[in-house]
A and B are shown apart, each in its own frame.
Chain A
């Protein structure tokens, strides 16, 4: 029977199923909420308020981004020896590395920040003797330290997982070609591992940007800190809504960038 001879039944008319009604109602609610937000922010627009707080928000944004950027970078550096120690056969190396990773992944970032910022105050005389007190006195440095250690633990696990996801045959292939281990790692294993690691790395950075809001509690004036300060001065709810809009914009931009990079570097895997 030829293709044309098959009589297909006509498409059933698209009625108003329950799902369709629910979907339209929910979308209408979202759209109404979006319009409501825009209208509210526009009607509550106050040039004085803007002139007073917009520069604060900008400097808060800078603090957030520099804190996340710097600790992500330092954490990446620190994660390499941790991941290496974690996979070592020597239990004296693997044990402490496991403990480090377990501690920083198992406790809230807020508790870690408190432990460093407030807790280190217990050792003030010793720290002053060592000349380290200047560092621990400043909330920004404490936040940086807490974030670096925290993300180092997460990134070490990402790195370890990614390197271990590369089949052993790749190492053996390199060894059969007489390449030194370091070269195999750098030229053969890491490029494959990074494809696997890209998405978790991206998620980790997104999580850090979101998590960085907690430094406002230990008195760092990041975006969240500036928002809380503005709210405590004005009791105007739009201060929080602006912060929400900014955070959402940053996170969505980042997600899009990661998606794009992933599409690019996995182009050879597509069929």
Chain B
């Protein structure tokens, strides 16, 4: 079994590295670990190999938490934490000033931040110079979660947003993973939040292209 070196052959993954790596930052209680697990299930549902794991800390509610997800066409053998992610999902914008969130993000990487404010308002305008600006986005995932779940749990919404921003996973597989995990009404509500965030990001991206 060879380590993947070439590009991916999966639809929508052309041009991406053979193993796509996502790092998720948030706080204990926000579903950071669950989010990475859901991504791995969505990738698995698409027939890919996937691996998700938490930052193995003694997680406490409110403490910074990191989780990781890798997926690709070939078996994933490495077990190391993701140091150079292809995508970053930031579930809690208050981490911006506490943790080195952008460490190792690839120059062509994707960034999705949960915030109702845009990157300039968050004081992150300079990121547009280091990374491809059309791949950096903030979304009001907590507001979308409040609207659809009645609770400020942004993880499912952000996964829909990630699918739209990166194109690395399909919305239907993300939603199937969410439904399978939460089940019943909670599953439907989280799925709705995820779809709403997907469309929000699609709309934002269309606006960016049009501008």
Q: Do A and B come from one complex?
A: no
